Amino acid sequence: MSAVSIKGVSKQFEAGVTALQGIDLDVEPGEFVSLIGPSGCGKSTLLRIIGDLTKPTAGTVQVNGKPADRARRDHEYGIVFQDAVLYDWRTVSKNISLPLELLHWNRSRRNARIKDMLELVELTGFESHHPWQLSGGMQQRVSIARALSFSPSLLLMDEPFGALDEMTRERLNAELLRIWQETGSTVVFVTHSISEAVFLSTRVVVMSVRPGQIAGLVDVDLEQPRTNATRESPRFFELVTQVREQLAAAGARLGETQEPALVEDQV
């Protein structure tokens, strides 16, 4: 059973914008899949459709074998947005505790889990801080801890490190990979950074714009665990080039206004 199964998904907004057209994608349990593409190609929309935060106008989405709305109600996934979306009135601990409260966990179970989560994202000692007392990178770690606190099998991330500086981003990339391996979860990760996509993923989904379609898939066969040395390996550069060329090709096809059928042949 796939962790995520997307069949023939299209999304048209009322304004007449076709954000997505004919998306087919299966994500297997334990995979780390990145969606990459130019801004406006529908990455966020696709992620939100997987999370049942918006409905597709055509097609179906299943998460862990359940329809997306059922999966959401069953808390099958945790989500992380670009801005950490932490509540100012809650301390770090209380922010992590939010989904647990909604799941009616009792206090001692919540506290034990919060402690584990703080260790996981290396924020022990910051439990009673308020979000605005933390740096952007720390806020995003709280957001990841919150998304993982109730042990969902699927983690959806929409450009979680997009607003951070390069150094913080690389540190959090490494941390995310460690967490992914420790928890054994499946990750669908939106980014517009080619190197980030290649470094993190087991598979990169390249998307084209207007309408948003899948232009190609790149299997990332870099060995695990990935380290700073990975970023310097020749294979890493080959894969980065491959993704870049697919992105360029998708853009070029758009420029030549070729038949959409040709794009589908590539998939």
DSSP state of 222: P
Residue count of the chain: 267
CB nearer to other proteins: pick between 19 and 263: 19
User: What is the token pair recorded at 194?
Assistant: 């080619």
Which of 44, 62, 185, 208 is the binder for Mg ion (CB under 5 A)? 44
Binding mask 37-76 for other proteins (x = CB under 8 A): -----------x--x-x------------------xx-x-
Strands 186-191, 32-36: pairing is parallel
The DSSP element (H or E) to which 254 belongs, if any, is helix 234-256
Under DSSP, is residue 15 helix (H, G, I), strand (E, B) or coil?
Answer: coil
> Within a 10 A sphere around the Cβ of 58, how many other Cβ atoms?
14
Name the minimum Å distance from CB 40 to other proteins.
18
The DSSP element (H or E) to which 195 belongs, if any, is helix 194-200
Name the minimum Å distance from CB 13 to ligand ADP.
3
25 binds ligand ADP (CB under 6 A): no
CB nearer to ligand ADP: pick between 11 and 226: 11
Tell me, what amino acid is at 50? Answer: I
**In the range 32-91, which residues lie near ligand ADP by CB under 6 A?**
37, 39-45
Give the footprint of other proteins on this chain (CB under 8 A). Answer: 48, 51, 53, 72-73, 75, 77-79, 81, 83, 85, 87-91, 98-99, 101-103, 130, 132-133
